[in-house]
Amino acid sequence: MKTKAAVAWKAGSPLTIEEVTLDGPRAGEVLVEVKATGICHTDYYTLSGADPEGLFPAILGHEGAGVVVDVGPGVTSLRKDDHVIPLYTPECRQCKFCLSRKTNLCQQIRGTQGRGLMPDATSRFSIDGQPILHYMGTSTFSNYIVVPEIALAKVRADAPFDKICYIGCGVTTGLGAVLFTAKVEAGANVVVFGLGGIGLNVIQGAKMVGADKIIGVDLNPEREAMARKFGMTHFINPKDTENVVDAIVQITDGGADYSFECVGNTKLMRQALECTHKGWGRSIIIGVAEAGAEISTRPFQLVTGRKWEGSAFGGARGRTDVPKIVDWYMDGKINIDDLITHHLTLEQINEGFDLMKRGESIRSVVVY
């Protein structure tokens, strides 16, 4: 079949809208009509060329929601008309990683997904016979996609696509880092570095679990009002603060119980660790730093009880946890609507990247 898609031909160039040939689903695969997709910082990171694993030409996008159109042989958990969210972190429930119960990093299709291919090592996308690569196993900047069954979360049918697509990455990454990775407890003091599409969801998660002080750090003063709406109690702008770590230690009487780095800046990662409390502080890295970047601190920071950790997709097991997060949204337990600042057509997708670069959007959503 043919599908309309925004194609990334090479790093640093705008996406172009193309008619792409899409082969049907093979064994264990599902054809999905994408109804809406968010534009995440990670898509920009790959398009910019900073991502060492970025491959071209490819169809980017990993924050979508849609409807099952057809299933390939052997698919048992999904059928036509099911509503789904594609998962860049699948959940096979069979691999060593899934069975360990210690991680959400399912490895069942990792090798081929990382090479922009389906599990049989081929692409379903092409233009005039030239293969176009998949991206993160999702490629939600295409109106129709083929996705492995293990990389689809089935969600309720009454949830609006243009909101729940954000659960495909930003919402789950931020909320999950608090709930599933750090397991922040009520009364804890929390610091969030970076109040963008991810950081605001960390704030929302911290508020949800009953954190005491929730301190936000951002260079963009416009982020303060939105973050306060989501539960931030204190705002620090590094431009106006001589020593961010000292300021946090003072506000929290010795240091934060938990900190979250949601920018991808290694200097902030160090501050995020060092502003946590001696003896028990835990700092969670969510931001993805540029290729080849390294983090450093004095080892004594760790000797004296602080812990440095990381979180991918919020530690969420997609097929299990994503449908629950959709329920939280539908039950009014979490706010997604206020974070979606712009709705665009696929033809306007490059504007979505420009809005992000200028710091004017939290989330832009493309509606097909």
Q: Is 312 among the residues that bind ligand DAO (CB under 6 A)?
A: yes
Catalytic residue among 41, 270, 277, 317: 41
Query: Which does residue 110 bind out of Zn ion, ligand NAD, ligand DAO, none, counting CB within 5 to 8 angstroms by kind?
Result: ligand DAO
Q: Is the link from the previous residue into 119 a cis peptide, with omega within 30 of 0?
A: no
Residue found under tokens 């509606």: 367
Span 238-297, contacts to ligand DAO by CB under 6 A: 288
Which one of residues 161, 313, 329, 368 is an interface residue with ligand NAD (CB under 6 A)?
313
Distance CA 103, CA 67 (A): 28
Window 44-83: contact mask with ligand DAO (x via CB under 6 A): ------------------x---------------------
> 225: which residues sit within 8 A by CB, 6+ positions away?
none
Window 169-198: contact mask with ligand NAD (x via CB under 6 A): xx--x-------------------xxxxxx
Q: b vs e for 98-132, b when ≥16 Cβ sit within 10 Å of the residue's Cβ?
A: beeeeebebebbeebbeebbbbeeebbbeeeeeeb
Distance CA 226, CA 228 (A): 5
> In the bound complex, what is the minimum distance in angstroms from residue 89's beta carbon to ligand DAO?
6
Which two three-digit tokens encode residue 192? Answer: 């969030």
- Closest residue to ligand NAD, Cβ-based? 196
Q: Is 95 among the residues that bind ligand DAO (CB under 6 A)?
A: no
- Segment interacting with ligand NAD, rule: CB under 6 A, options 13-21, 39-47, 65-73, 143-151: 39-47
> Listing from the earlier edge strand, what are the strands of the sheet with 16-22?
2-7, 16-22, 125-127, 130-132
Q: Is 238 among the residues that bind ligand NAD (CB under 6 A)?
A: yes
> In the bound complex, what is the minimum distance in angstroms from residue 236's beta carbon to ligand DAO?
25
Residue in 314, 304, 307, 316 with CA at minimum distance from that of residue 259: 307
Which residue's CB is nearer to ligand NAD, number 68 or number 285? 285
Residue 98 designated active-site? yes
Distances (CA, A) of 69 to 18, 21, 72, 113, 206: 21, 16, 10, 22, 38
- Segment interacting with Zn ion, rule: CB under 5 A, options 95-103, 141-149, 180-188, 360-368: 95-103
- Segment interacting with Zn ion, rule: CB under 5 A, options 16-24, 102-110, 117-125, 282-290: 102-110
**Cα angle for residues 322, 198, 282 (degrees, 5° grid):** 95
Which one of residues 22, 98, 312, 339 is an interface residue with ligand NAD (CB under 6 A)?
312
Distance CA 274, CA 191 (A): 11
> In the bound complex, what is the minimum distance in angstroms from residue 314's beta carbon to ligand NAD?
7
Residue 277 designated active-site? no
φ, ψ (nearest 5 deg) of residue 35: -100, -30
Span 201-240, contacts to ligand DAO by CB under 6 A: none
Catalytic residue among 83, 124, 169, 276: 169
Distance CA 119, CA 17 (A): 26
> In the bound complex, what is the minimum distance in angstroms from residue 255's beta carbon to ligand NAD?
19
Query: Which does residue 105 bind out of Zn ion, ligand DAO, ligand NAD, none, counting CB within 5 to 8 angstroms by kind?
Result: ligand DAO
Catalytic residue among 3, 40, 91, 112: 40
CB atoms within 10 A of CB 307: 15
List active site positions: 40-42, 62-63, 92, 95, 98, 106, 110, 169, 363
